[in-house]
Amino acid sequence: MKVTATIPKKIKPGKHKCHIPFKKVGWPEDHKTVIANKKAKPGDTTFNDKFYVLDGSEDAECTAEWLKDFDMKILQPMMRKKQKEFKKNPKAYENTDIFDSIQDCLMKLTDGTVQTAVKDTLANIDPATSTMKVGDVSMFENEHCKGQLLAYKEQKKLKQFQEENLYYRVLMYREVLHRIKIAMYGNDSTALNSFMELKSTIRTLKANPTTGIRQYDERKQTLQSYLPYQMWQWGDKSGQEKKPYGEEESREHLHDALTREQKEVLLKNKWEIFENPYADTISQLAALEPALVEQLQVKARLKKLEDEKEAKRTNGGKRNSDGSPKNNKGKATPGEKKECKHCGKKHAGKCWSLDKNNNSNSKNQKFHKNTGFSKAQFATMKKLMSSTKSSQRTIDTDSSSDEEDSNQYSWAKGVPQVQQMYISQAYKRDNGMDSDEEVREIPDDELKALKKKAKRASKSLGCRRK
């Protein structure tokens, strides 16, 4: 059987409105505020506090902060006061001044879509206006409230239960706050489980030695304080409380949040995260941080200098299409050999095959600087070697080769005549011999070096071995 279904669109992490980010943004400076007047009875103001007005445009953290402030500063203190009245006088339910004051605060501290949600909810579940019967929980959406109300089915009228039981008021205000969350976050599965979303954020918080471990701890405690004010559909159904992370879990999170440098510092000081209380580890890291930050700053400066040096060498980090560094002149990096498109060989620098005139003055001038001869000596050497080259062309090599081999010294055997001239003159110069003296013998090591220089000289002058 073919089954068709619609795959729900996946919400990217951090994009849902119920998501609270790692870094706190806070309330806008120009956001509307009011003074909440919490009256215990007509004309009596217990305390005044400045509150932000929730209108539906706020982010998840502002919403959580508003819910926390309302619960801690208004709802809980006033309900405790009402409970004391009930203990003194069971008929204290007839005086609704405190309940009226709570509802008045709800109306003053909300606006827009949030205020509309509050009005609609109170109209349906307030004992003064509600027509519900016991067992009818259709006006409630919070699973915890539904479960608690169904336990009082023996009452015939809900109003009787509402008036005689202070606990109904607690459930009623819990439902109102639940509707406010829905107005702010929505009612999809992610919003209805914002408790788990926030726990995931807390679990993935990261510490930074530069900002300090205290900042990590403060942010974690702040986020944990928002947990009771989030929605958790499964927890409400199963009766589970929205508790923050415990000691063991906090140690695990801290271990995952620390950087490699922070863990190394603790290890050097023989401090084990899992064997010590979470608060003690925070204090230990705070004491070790100044020295660690100083070390990290030194490393950062050294890395910056190395990066600047590397950028200078590679022309600001620019790269060729093959990923190699690109210098200012478009040449290869010193020591780097690439395949030449002119000669097909791998070499660095300009290709020699581009120079058509091998006898150019530029080559000769470069060469004589490396030979040890002066300009005048090199000019004479050039003239002698050129004349030797021209005379070679007029001699029959087949007939003269035997005579040359018989009259040559051992060092000259197998060496072209042009190169012999260079070797002879260079050896005389290096050993202080007169120009008319004959060179009968040259040590092997010196001969090897002179042969190399002679070959270079003959190439520079365009001579070839025949």
Render pLDDT for 124-168 as a digit per residue (tens, 0 to 9).
888 777 766 666 788 888 988 888 877 766 555 555 666 567 788
For the chain, domain boundaries: 33-192, 198-295, 361-393+404-460
- The kind and range of the H/E element at 38 are strand 33-41
Would you state the pLDDT for residue 316?
A: 56
Q: Is the pLDDT of residue 216 over 70?
A: yes
Q: Is the pLDDT of residue 440 over 70?
A: yes
Q: What is the chain's mean pLDDT, rounded?
A: 77
Render pLDDT for 348-401 as a digit per residue (tens, 0 to 9).
777 776 664 444 444 444 444 455 555 666 666 665 555 554 544 444 444 444
47 falls in which pLDDT band (50, 70, 90)? low
Long-range pairs for 123-129 at CB < 8 Å and ≥24 separation? 125/172, 125/175, 126/172, 127/158, 127/159, 127/162, 127/163, 127/168, 128/96
Q: Which of 356, 353, 216, 212 is nearest to 286 (CA)?
A: 212
Sign of CA dihedral 245, 251, 254, 256: negative
Contact by Cβ (8 Å): 421, 461? no
Render pLDDT for 281-293 as a digit per residue (tens, 0 to 9).
999 999 998 998 8
- Mean pLDDT across the stretch 403-417? 70
